[in-house]
Structure 1
Amino acid sequence: MTEPTNAVLPRGVTQEEFAEALEKFRAVLGDANVLVRSEQLVPYNKIMMPVENAAHAPSAALTATTVEQIQEIVKICNAHRIPVYPISTGRNFGYGSAAPVQRGQIILDLKKMNKIIKIDAEMCYALVEPGVTYGQLYNYIQENKLPVMLSFSAPSAIAGPVGNTMDRGVGYTPYGEHFMMQCGMEVVLANGDVYRTGMGGVPGSNTWQIFKWGYGPTLDGMFTQANYGICTKMGFWLMPKPPVFKPFEVIFENEEDIVEIVDLLRPLRMSGTIPNSVVIASTLWEAGSAHLTRAQYVSEPGHTPDSVIRQMQKDTGMGAWNLYAALYGTREQVDVNWKIVTDAFRKLGKGRIVTQEEAGDKQPFKYRAELMSGVPNLQEFGLYNWRGGGGSMWFAPVSEARGSECRKQAALAKRILHKHGLDYVAEFIVAPRDMHHVIDVLYNRTDAEETRRADACFNELLDEFEKEGYAVYRVNTRFQERVARSYGPVKRDVEHAIKRALDPNNVLAPGRCGIDLDSYRKS
Structure 2
Amino acid sequence: MKMTTKYIALPEGVSEQQFDQAIAEFRRVLGDEHVLIKPEELAPNMKIMLPVDTSQHTPSAAILPKSVEQVQEIVAICNRYKVPVWPVSTGRNLGYGSAAPATRGQVVLDMRLMNRILEVDADLCTALVEPGVTYQQLHDYIREHDLPLWLSCPAPSAIAGPVGNSLDRGVGYTPYGEHFLFQCGMEVVMPDGDVLRTGMGSMSNSNTWQVFKWGYGPSLDGIFTQSNYGIVTKMGMWLMPAPPAFKPFLIRYPDEVDIDKIVETLRPLRIAMIIPNAVVIAHTLWEAGAFVRRSDFYQGKGSISEEAVGEIRKTHNLGAWNVYAGLYGSPEQIEVNWNIIKGAVEASGGELLTEEQVGDSPTFRYRRDLMRGDMNLQEFGLYNWRGGGGSLWFAPVSQARGSETLKQMDLAKRILGKYGFDYVGEFIVGWRDMHHVIDLLYDRTNPEETSKANACFRELIDEFAAQGYGMYRTNTAFMDKVADTYGPVKRKVNQVLKRALDPNGIIAPGKSGIYV
Structure 1 CA distance, aligned partners of 2:299 and 2:497?
A: 52
Matched, 1:311 2:311: yes
User: Which residue is equivalent to 1:256?
Assistant: 257
Is contact 1:267–1:432 with CA below 8 Å preserved after alignment? Answer: no
User: Which residue is equivalent to 1:497?
Assistant: 496
Structure 2 CA distance, aligned partners of 1:102 and 1:445?
A: 20
User: Relative to 1, partners in 2 of residues 1:428 and 1:122: Cα closer, same or farther, differing over 3 Å?
Assistant: same
Structure 1 CA distance, aligned partners of 2:421 and 2:313?
A: 19
User: Which residue is equivalent to 2:416?
Assistant: 417
- Which one-letter code corresponds to 2:326 in the other structure? A
User: Which residue is equivalent to 1:187?
Assistant: 188
User: Which residue is equivalent to 1:139?
Assistant: 140
User: Which residue is equivalent to 1:515?
Assistant: 514
Report the CA distance between 1:7 and its aligned residue.
3.3
Q: What SS class does the counterpart of residue 176 from structure 1 fall into?
A: coil
Is contact 1:62–1:106 with CA below 8 Å preserved after alignment? Answer: yes
Report the CA distance between 1:487 and its aligned residue.
0.5
Is contact 2:8–2:58 with CA below 8 Å preserved after alignment? Answer: no
Is contact 2:163–2:235 with CA below 8 Å preserved after alignment? Answer: yes
Report the CA distance between 1:432 and its aligned residue.
1.6
What is the RMSD of the two structures over their aligned residues, measured on CA atoms?
0.8
- 1:489-515 Cα offsets, whole Å, 9 max, x none, are 111111111101110000000000000
Structure 2 CA distance, aligned partners of 1:396 and 1:278?
A: 16
User: Which residue is equivalent to 1:128?
Assistant: 129
Structure 2 CA distance, aligned partners of 1:502 and 1:120?
A: 34
Is contact 2:346–2:352 with CA below 8 Å preserved after alignment? Answer: no
User: Which residue is equivalent to 2:462?
Assistant: 463
Q: What SS class does the counterpart of residue 478 from structure 2 fall into?
A: helix
Q: What SS class does the counterpart of residue 438 from structure 1 fall into?
A: strand
User: Which residue is equivalent to 1:159?
Assistant: 160
User: Which residue is equivalent to 2:300?
Assistant: 300
Is contact 2:8–2:59 with CA below 8 Å preserved after alignment? Answer: no
Structure 1 CA distance, aligned partners of 2:35 and 2:430?
A: 43
User: Which residue is equivalent to 2:63?
Assistant: 62
User: Which residue is equivalent to 2:175?
Assistant: 174
Q: What SS class does the counterpart of residue 174 from structure 1 fall into?
A: coil
User: Relative to 1, partners in 2 of residues 1:320 and 1:111: Cα closer, same or farther, differing over 3 Å?
Assistant: same
Matches within 5 A, 1:262-341: 262-289=263-290, 291-341=291-341
User: Which residue is equivalent to 1:12?
Assistant: 13
User: Which residue is equivalent to 2:476?
Assistant: 477
Structure 2 CA distance, aligned partners of 1:116 and 1:100?
A: 26
- Which one-letter code corresponds to 2:406 in the other structure? R
- Which one-letter code corresponds to 1:320 in the other structure? A
Structure 1 CA distance, aligned partners of 2:375 and 2:401?
A: 30
Structure 1 CA distance, aligned partners of 2:38 and 2:344?
A: 61
Is contact 1:480–1:514 with CA below 8 Å preserved after alignment? Answer: yes
Is contact 1:4–1:37 with CA below 8 Å preserved after alignment? Answer: no
Matches within 5 A, 1:199-214: 199-214=200-215
- 1:184-225 Cα offsets, whole Å, 9 max, x none, are 000000110000000001111110000000000000000000
User: Which residue is equivalent to 2:52?
Assistant: 51
Is contact 1:185–1:196 with CA below 8 Å preserved after alignment? Answer: yes
Q: What SS class does the counterpart of residue 428 from structure 2 fall into?
A: strand
Is contact 1:126–1:235 with CA below 8 Å preserved after alignment? Answer: yes
User: Which residue is equivalent to 1:384?
Assistant: 383
- 1:425-444 Cα offsets, whole Å, 9 max, x none, are 00000012001000001000
Structure 1 CA distance, aligned partners of 2:227 and 2:347?
A: 46
Is contact 2:252–2:319 with CA below 8 Å preserved after alignment? Answer: yes
- Which one-letter code corresponds to 2:316 in the other structure? T
Structure 1 CA distance, aligned partners of 2:359 and 2:215?
A: 46
Structure 2 CA distance, aligned partners of 1:90 and 1:52?
A: 19
- Which one-letter code corresponds to 1:458 in the other structure? F
User: Which residue is equivalent to 1:344?
Assistant: 344
Q: What SS class does the counterpart of residue 184 from structure 1 fall into?
A: strand
Structure 2 CA distance, aligned partners of 1:456 and 1:287?
A: 26
- Which one-letter code corresponds to 1:454 in the other structure? A
User: Which residue is equivalent to 1:225?
Assistant: 226
Structure 2 CA distance, aligned partners of 1:42 and 1:312?
A: 37
- Which one-letter code corresponds to 2:471 in the other structure? V
Structure 1 CA distance, aligned partners of 2:351 and 2:225?
A: 40
Structure 1 CA distance, aligned partners of 2:229 and 2:304?
A: 43
- 1:52-78 Cα offsets, whole Å, 9 max, x none, are 211100000000000000000010000
The TM-score with structure 1 as length reference comes to 0.97
Structure 2 CA distance, aligned partners of 1:21 and 1:261?
A: 57
User: Which residue is equivalent to 2:428?
Assistant: 429
The TM-score with structure 2 as length reference comes to 0.99
User: Which residue is equivalent to 1:117?
Assistant: 118
- Which one-letter code corresponds to 2:189 in the other structure? V
Is contact 2:210–2:236 with CA below 8 Å preserved after alignment? Answer: yes
- 1:123-144 Cα offsets, whole Å, 9 max, x none, are 0011000000000111111111
- Which one-letter code corresponds to 2:466 in the other structure? K
Is contact 1:360–1:366 with CA below 8 Å preserved after alignment? Answer: no
Structure 2 CA distance, aligned partners of 1:514 and 1:431?
A: 26
Q: What SS class does the counterpart of residue 397 from structure 1 fall into?
A: strand
Aligned pair count reads: 513
Structure 2 CA distance, aligned partners of 1:302 and 1:191?
A: 52
- 1:292-335 Cα offsets, whole Å, 9 max, x none, are 01011112232100111011111111011000000000010000
Structure 2 CA distance, aligned partners of 1:33 and 1:269?
A: 47
- Which one-letter code corresponds to 1:38 in the other structure? P
Structure 2 CA distance, aligned partners of 1:194 and 1:293?
A: 49
Structure 1 CA distance, aligned partners of 2:13 and 2:313?
A: 55
Large movers: runs of 4+ above 4 Å: none
User: Which residue is equivalent to 1:88?
Assistant: 89
- Which one-letter code corresponds to 1:481 in the other structure? D
Matched, 1:362 2:361: yes
User: Relative to 1, partners in 2 of residues 1:94 and 1:234: Cα closer, same or farther, differing over 3 Å?
Assistant: same
User: Which residue is equivalent to 1:215?
Assistant: 216
Report the CA distance between 1:359 and its aligned residue.
2.3
Report the CA distance between 1:363 and its aligned residue.
1.2
Structure 1 CA distance, aligned partners of 2:316 and 2:417?
A: 23
- Which one-letter code corresponds to 1:49 in the other structure? L
Structure 2 CA distance, aligned partners of 1:333 and 1:498?
A: 47
Q: What SS class does the counterpart of residue 472 from structure 2 fall into?
A: coil
Structure 2 CA distance, aligned partners of 1:306 and 1:55?
A: 37
Report the CA distance between 1:351 and its aligned residue.
1.5
Q: What SS class does the counterpart of residue 227 from structure 1 fall into?
A: coil
User: Which residue is equivalent to 2:395?
Assistant: 396
Structure 1 CA distance, aligned partners of 2:495 and 2:347?
A: 52
What are the ranges of 5 or more consecutive residues in structure 1 without an aligned counterpart?
518-523
Is contact 2:90–2:132 with CA below 8 Å preserved after alignment? Answer: yes
Report the CA distance between 1:4 and its aligned residue.
5.8
Structure 2 CA distance, aligned partners of 1:7 and 1:205?
A: 46
What are the ranges of 5 or more consecutive residues in structure 2 without an aligned counterpart?
none
User: Which residue is equivalent to 1:521?
Assistant: none
- Which one-letter code corresponds to 2:142 in the other structure? I
